[in-house]
Amino acid sequence: MSDCLNWPHEREPIDTVGLGVFDGIHRGHRAIADQCSHLMTFCPYPRAVLHPEAPMIPRLTLLSEMRQLFPNTLALQFTRAIAELSAAEFFERIVVQELAPKRIVVGEDFQFGAKRSGHGAILQALGASAGIDVVLVPLVMQAGEPVKSGRIRTAIQSGQFNQAVDLLGHPYSLSGSVVSGDGRGRTLGFPTANLALPETKLGLLPGVYAGYLADTQAPVVVYSGSAPTFDTHTHRHEVHILDYDGNLYGQSLSVMVTQQIRGEMQFASTDALQAQIQRDIQAARP
């Protein structure tokens, strides 16, 4: 969990810090981040520490992806000792002593401290006693409901990917290592990079998606599924980079997925599959 160990004691002074889990950096989070010089999140996800026996909730945004969206992100390694701090202790030891910000920005539903005992009004009172201004940001509403990570996660898992992107306010990130596949894409004339996602990351439902590489903005087609045309059973995320034919094995790849083009389909022949892939590529071109 080395990715969590981003809590430097020697860093530039913090003017305004936003506190929260920030899974997804969605429109509601942006209302906070837009007012901040830094964000502070927790790693691993607090639920994983407090309830290790519970089913894992896959993350919308890995810490590395969060830093792509907001580079000045600090990740506090969450432990049971931190979880047991009272709201006042958490404020003094973590916020005042470690962060020492001039200003704090949180969502109006922010909770902190043991058993989530601290809330916005308590944070404002603690801030006032320490000479730190605390701003509470109202929930961002869309279609009559608050924009929350759980709502976005449900949209992705129920096949409403394009709605999820609209709630996020930015493309959905997929990051992982490129591993060896079965080479079928190259045989078909459309080489792909087989992307191995961390187990904590929420993947895509079966289908075909459009997007671009995070670093070069090169357009891509992303296939998620188990290739039913070839009767395989392993779910994979395959990335075809348009107009590219290099070797990416062993490299890290970050893709920004902008929309779903279509759902999973089974084809009667490889010719029919190749023809559909050509149509998918045209749909993905900017």
Q: Is the pLDDT of residue 2 over 50?
A: no
**Residue 155 located in a structural domain:** no
Write out the two tokens for 107: 């969502």
Separation of alpha carbons 211 and 280, rounded Å: 12
Give the CATH number for residue 241. Answer: 2.40.30.30
Tokens of residue 38, six digits: 């830094």
Last residue of a domain, one of 86, 113, 146: 146
CA distance 216 to 105: 33
Q: Verify that 181 and 87 share a domain, yes or no.
A: no
State mean pLDDT over 42-48: 88
On whether residue 152 sits in a domain, the answer given is no
Report the C-alpha gap between 44 and 77 in whole angstroms: 7
Q: Please state, in angstroms and rounded to a whole number, the distance separating the CA atoms of residues 102 and 88.
A: 18
Is position 113 within any domain?
yes
Per the structure, the complete domain to which residue 261 belongs is given by: 171-284
Kindly report, residue by residue over 193-202, the tens digit of the pLDDT. 999 999 999 9
Q: At what angle do helices 149-157 and 161-168 cross, to 10 degrees?
A: 160
For the segment 140-152, the average pLDDT, to the nearest whole number, is 97
Residue 267 located in a structural domain: yes
- Mean pLDDT for 234-255 is 91
- How confident is the model over 263-273, as pLDDT tens digits? 998 888 889 99
Domain count, the chain: 2
Of the candidates 237, 215, 218, 217, the one whose C-alpha atom is nearest the C-alpha of residue 226 is 237
* pLDDT at 183 (0 to 100): 63
SS3 228: helix
The mean of the pLDDT values for the chain is 91
Query: In the structure, how many helices (H) and strands (E) does the chain have?
Result: 10, 13
For residues 168-181, give the mean pLDDT. 93
Q: CATH number for the domain including 110? A: 3.40.50.620
Q: Are 266 and 224 in contact (CB under 8 A)?
A: no
Give how far Cα 182 sits from Cα of 125, 179, 210, 274, Å: 59, 10, 22, 17
Same domain, 181 and 275: yes
Verify that 207 and 77 share a domain, yes or no.
no
69 and 140 share one domain:
yes
Nearest alpha-carbon partner for 258 in 221, 226, 216, 227: 221
Residue 153 counted as domain residue? no
pLDDT the model gives residue 233? 67
Whether 272 and 239 share a structural domain: yes
Same domain, 109 and 227: no
* Residue whose C-alpha is closest to residue 274's, from 192, 190, 191, 181: 190
Tell me whether residue 164 is in a domain. Answer: no
Q: Are residues 252 and 134 in the same domain?
A: no
Domain annotation covers residue 157: no
Same domain, 180 and 235: yes
Same domain, 6 and 137: yes
Tell me the per-residue pLDDT of 87-129, one tens digit each, with 9 for 90 and over.
999 999 999 998 999 999 999 999 999 999 999 999 999 999 9
